[in-house]
Amino acid sequence: MTTLYDKLKVLDPEYYTAERVRPYEDTIARIHKLKKERNAVVLAHNYQRPEIFEIADYTGDSLGLSLMAADVRDADVIVFCGVHFMAETAKIVNPEKTVLLPNLAAGCSLADTATGPDVAARKAELKQTYPDLQVVTYVNTTADVKAESDACCTSSNAVSVVRAMESDHILFVPDQNLARHVALNVPEKTIIAWDGFCYVHHQITPESVLAMRNQIPGIKILVHPECRDDVVALADAALSTTGMIEYAQASDAQNFLAVTECGLSDMLQINVPEKTFYRACKICRFMKAISLDDVEQALLGMKFEIEVDEPVRSRARRAIERMIDLTGSQRDNLALPRNVADE
């Protein structure tokens, strides 16, 4: 029987020692019991620590988890193992549920680059030149920013959302690299980029990707579109996190380089063990903030509860619903229940 230690030591034998992993098994058993007592589900982003996947009911990317959160019916509590804006999104789409973020240090430096008032001011300024201007906002933003937006998007649907907007002039908030990816793929529209970026993806250089390509002939390079343009230019495919998992599962190739946050390489390796995933990745300190102990404490103390004021919530929800309307056909594909990831 494969133990948790067997699974984790493959990822990082120096960190995941038997002494470190053994106590996880007890904590995981206690968390499963608490989940039943609290009638809670755990949603976990692909970039979480790998031991968190053991207690997750669903894992996925931002959109997949938003859709999952909206579909939570029977549970009373959603424990969100991701970052703050994702837990806020769960509350926006399913306000009846208690949403817990187990560690408030799980923020996002990209989301912090835009505030609601700043986006409102920029929108008003640009509308003087482009009266038809619309705002498309990456889901990696606060509820206040979503409330100022005409539609939200994720990395997997940004191109199709922008293409479907009525306006020819789009203020794209907040990631400048994703804005550039959209501009390349929707050349018929004018994309005005906010100047934010994700500190994790921005650090990855073309040199580190090229070194791997030269070392391993035939390796497939999968790049997240939040990366710099000189890194995206080296990709076999620029994909969201869920897109990378699906690509790796469907591909005949044996070797892959996942150019994104390191958690996805971990998840790919766990779920597709017969293939080899090399890394040109960086760790997001925000995504790694939540530990198993934090989840246990969250369920014991019902903390930290995420709240969103009603007027902001309903405006933000409209922007999220617009995204889902525009990309409705993708709904079934984008959530990634754990049993699918295990196939």
Nearer CB in complex with ligand SF4: 118/253: 118
Return the residue matching tokens 């980029």. 193
Nearer CB in complex with ligand SF4: 114/219: 114
Total Cβ atoms within 10 A of residue 279? 16
Closest distance of CB 48 from ligand SF4, Å: 11
Q: Does 150 bind ligand SF4 (CB under 6 A)?
A: no
Q: Does 287 bind ligand SF4 (CB under 6 A)?
A: yes
Contacts 24+ apart (CB under 8 A), 201-204: 201/177, 201/226, 201/227, 201/228, 201/260, 201/261, 201/282, 202/177, 202/226, 202/227, 202/228, 203/282, 204/228, 204/231, 204/259, 204/280, 204/281, 204/282
CA 76 distance to own-chain centroid: 23
Nearer CB in complex with ligand SF4: 11/284: 284
List 103, 140, 156, 241, residue binding ligand SF4 (CB under 6 A): 140
Closest distance of CB 333 from ligand SF4, Å: 21
The footprint of ligand SF4 on this chain (CB under 6 A) covers a number of residues equal to: 12
Nearer CB in complex with ligand SF4: 153/200: 200
- CB burial string 27-54: b at 16+ within 10 A, e below: bbeebeebbeebebbbbbbbbbbbbbbb
Query: Who contacts 249 (Cβ-Cβ below 8 Å, separation ≥6)?
Result: 271, 272, 343
Closest distance of CB 286 from ligand SF4, Å: 5
Q: Does 103 bind ligand SF4 (CB under 6 A)?
A: no
List 54, 261, 266, 294, residue binding ligand SF4 (CB under 6 A): 261
Closest distance of CB 305 from ligand SF4, Å: 20
Selection from 294, 288, 295 nearest residue 264 by Cα? 288
List 27, 98, 109, 160, residue binding ligand SF4 (CB under 6 A): 109
String marking each residue 110-139 x if it binds ligand SF4 according to CB under 6 A? x-----------------------------
Nearer CB in complex with ligand SF4: 90/200: 200
Helix (H, G, I), strand (E, B) or coil at 26: helix
Q: Does 62 bind ligand SF4 (CB under 6 A)?
A: no
Helix (H, G, I), strand (E, B) or coil at 6: helix
Per DSSP, the residues of 159-189 read HHHHHHSS-SEEEEESBHHHHHHHHHH-TTS
Cα separation of 277 and 245, whole Å? 11
Stretch that binds ligand SF4, among 30-38, 106-114, 163-171, 304-312 (CB under 6 A): 106-114
- The region that residue 334 occupies, defined by phi over 0 for left and psi between -120 and 50 for alpha, beta otherwise, is alpha
Cis peptide bond N-terminal to 286, omega within 30: no
Helix (H), strand (E) at residue 277: strand 276-279
Stretch that binds ligand SF4, among 103-111, 165-173, 203-211, 272-280 (CB under 6 A): 103-111
Q: Does 284 bind ligand SF4 (CB under 6 A)?
A: yes
Q: Does 83 bind ligand SF4 (CB under 6 A)?
A: yes
Nearer CB in complex with ligand SF4: 132/229: 229
Positions 169 through 208 that interact with ligand SF4 (CB under 6 A): 198-200
Q: Which residues bind ligand SF4 (CB under 6 A)?
A: 83, 108-110, 140, 198-200, 261, 284, 286-287
